[in-house]
Amino acid sequence: MTAGEELVNPMIAAWEERASMPFAPVSSDFIIGVLLGCFLIVTFALADRSHYLPQLIRNHFPGHSQVVEDEIYTSRSFWVRLLLFVLAFLSVGLCAVYLLYGKGIVPDNASAMKWMMLSAAAVAVYLVLKYILYVIVNIFLFTRSQTNVWNRTYADIFLFFGIGCFLLAVCGIFFEMSMILFSVCLVVLILMAETVLAFKAFHHFFEKKYGGLHLFVYLCALEWIPLLIGGKIFIQFCSTV
């Protein structure tokens, strides 16, 4: 046996042994590759000289100035923002794959790739349809400048939700969280996003008489009911597949 064969044969044996092991997200090359890509996106967003992500975080705390709010939406920050949207879609897809894995629906790498892409595409379609619905309704409720502020606020909250899903996916996959704990954390993330959205909406648009009732009807019709319908569809899908 040559020196090359002595080096290659153990590697082949180790690969064959790894391939024969039961599928798990933490050992999936595809899932680890997606997580690495998401990590690189977060690193790039934090290191970018436009400082888009740190300024975006500060922008959603009380006391920020309008100058900062205008400065973060520049042509350079557009690409960082686009990458963060990609991160959000991939992270939501990873969370969906982990939930489906817990139900036994994702038995291998090919299934993980298929369901992650389908989940990310479904979330993208869901957001586009909701955006169109918001645009139509907001024409009758807000001025053009208010509508732009609302669109930015809604998109920013989704980006924060995507970063939260990325952190949750990392914890779930590497620490092998139980499905119950993972589901609870995901629901908490969704509730936090909806709470911040309601607070921002009331602060910007509904500070008037009967504003609370107006906000409740607005979010029920355009946010909470579609979210509950989407969640119910996902739960029924998991129980029937």
User: What average pLDDT does range 125-148 have in this prediction?
Assistant: 81
pLDDT at residue 182, as a whole number: 94
pLDDT at residue 39, as a whole number: 92
In tens, the pLDDT along 81-114 reads 888 999 999 999 999 999 989 888 888 888 889 9
- Provide the 10 A C-beta neighbour count for residue 224: 14
In tens, the pLDDT along 153-196 reads 888 889 999 999 999 999 999 988 999 999 999 999 999 988 88
- Provide the 10 A C-beta neighbour count for residue 33: 10
Judging by beta carbons within 10 Å of its beta carbon (0-12, 13-18, 19+), is residue 117 exposed, middle or buried?
middle
230: helix, coil or strand?
Answer: helix
Cα(57)–Cα(160) distance, integer angstroms: 9
Phi-psi region of 23 (alpha: psi -120 to 50; beta: other; left: phi over 0): beta
Cα(158)–Cα(154) distance, integer angstroms: 6
Tell me the H-state helices in 103-224: 109-141, 144-174, 179-205, 211-219
What DSSP string describes 57-78? HHHTSTT--HHHHHHTSSHHHH
DSSP 44: H
Residue 240 has pLDDT above 70, yes or no: no
Nearest to 115 by CA among 130, 126, 103: 103
Gyration radius (Cα) of the chain, Å: 21
Residue 239 has pLDDT above 80, yes or no: no
Does residue 126 contact residue 230 with C-beta atoms inside 8 Å? Answer: yes
In tens, the pLDDT along 189-228 reads 999 988 888 887 777 666 665 566 667 777 777 777 777 7
Nearest to 89 by CA among 127, 113, 118, 124: 124
Cα(177)–Cα(26) distance, integer angstroms: 11
Q: Which of 3-12, 69-78, 198-207 has the lowest mean pLDDT?
A: 3-12
**Alpha carbon separation from 154 to 115, 127, 213, 219 (Å, rounded):** 26, 10, 20, 12
